[in-house]
Amino acid sequence: MKVGFVYDPIYLKHNTGQHPENARRLEAIISHLERTGLKQQLIPIKPCAASTEELSLVHNEHYISHIRDVAQKGGGWLDADTVMSSNSYEAALYAAGGVIRAAEAVMNGEVDSAFALVRPPGHHATCEQAMGFCLFNNLAIATKYALTNYKLERILIVDFDVHHGNGTQAAFYDNPRVLYISTHQYPFYPGTGSIKETGSGAAEGSTINIPLPAGSGDTEYLEVFEQIIVPAAIRFKPRLILVSAGYDTHWADELALMQVSVTGFAQMVKIIKGLADELCNGRLVFSLEGGYNLTALAASIKATFDMLLGNATIEDPLGQSPPRFEAPSIASLIKKIKEIHNLS
């Protein structure tokens, strides 16, 4: 099993200061992969900078030049959550280019699957707005790139970040060739992602939102994967699967209130990998979104790679969540979503 990873020190130069989304996240991931010997099992993929033309697949030119200008002036805050430094534009070009390269490597058969370990993250960024720590929508750009350059008929995006990927949803809301499925805490930032947002026009039904109550953990996520994501993916028959991989769903993460464990992430990845193997020759690309508890993040990403490599065991140093919540009941939510999307 050939598994690639995209990484470059340029991603550390997006300097956000005292912010939860900071360079220490990637440093913790890389040093954990090195320390555990996992990195040696992976094939490095070198990112390049996305071109303006590639960014324009998702973002308008005025927005792109605005981000470049803010960096040239030394950086600054774009909204209450999102900050840039002088090197952030360049890092963001390589983040978008990194996910493109990961998709190319998978499509060209250089690797079976790949994980782009990039920052800044992307799934909140819209065509004309930075938000939620995101500048360019790396995964949406790579999706459009793959649709165009490889003439793929259909791409599935699974987004298990704890936040709804409003930017990615918006990029494909009227595009029937992309099925966007998101699990997220709800109600929560950024406010979008209700079950009623299902796509528009010819793309009606190609957005599936699974808004979960705070306190949802491994049991609830696996239930949702088995009951909704698996049958929806099988029906859609994707030619490639991309994953917005956010690990802020972990119980130890301080930005949200979900209860997923490292073991839970591994099980979710195993299901997604099974879908890729069954439906699209294993073609699978992960892109890093959130995840702010460094121990949980590094362990979860190692577990993700272990699953992609087909390694028999994973390590879960943090274990299951201490009991903080009563297990939420999601049976009626699942039933409603299955009705809306005609999933039997």
Q: CB 28 → Zn ion: shortest distance, Å?
A: 17
- Looking at 144, 163, 270, 341, which residue binds Zn ion (CB under 5 A)? 163
List all residues 6 or more positions away from 251 whose beta carbon is below 8 Å from its beta carbon. Answer: 217, 258, 259, 260, 261, 296, 318, 320, 321, 322, 324
Quick check: bond before 322 cis, omega within 30? no
Active site residue 250: no
Rounded Cα distance, 2 and 110, in Å: 8
Residue 106 or 134: which CB sits closer to Zn ion? Answer: 134
Residue 78 or 147: which CB sits closer to Zn ion? Answer: 78
Residue 166 or 227: which CB sits closer to Zn ion? Answer: 166
Q: CB 299 → Zn ion: shortest distance, Å?
A: 17
Of the residues 59, 124, 184, 250, only one is catalytic, namely: 124
For tokens 């949980």, what's the residue? 296
Beta partners for 242? 157, 285
For residue 161, state whether it binds Zn ion (rule: CB under 5 A): yes
- Looking at 246, 283, 300, 303, which residue binds Zn ion (CB under 5 A)? 246
Rounded Cα distance, 142 and 102, in Å: 9
For residue 25, state whether it binds Zn ion (rule: CB under 5 A): no
For tokens 């930017």, what's the residue? 167
For residue 248, state whether it binds Zn ion (rule: CB under 5 A): yes
Instruction: Give the Cβ contact number of residue 15 at 10 Å.
Output: 16
- Cα angle: 33, vertex 111, 101; to 5 degrees: 85
Residue 115 or 145: which CB sits closer to Zn ion? Answer: 115
Q: Could you give the string, one character per residue 127-156, with x where binding to Zn ion holds by CB under 5 A and - elsewhere? A: ------------------------------
Q: How far is CA 64 from the centre of its chain?
A: 22
Q: CB 75 → Zn ion: shortest distance, Å?
A: 22
For residue 290, state whether it binds Zn ion (rule: CB under 5 A): yes
The CB-nearest residue to Zn ion is 290
Q: CB 330 → Zn ion: shortest distance, Å?
A: 20
End-to-end CA distance of the chain: 33
Q: Which residues are catalytic?
A: 124
> Which stretches of the chain bind Zn ion, using CB under 5 A?
161, 163, 246, 248, 290
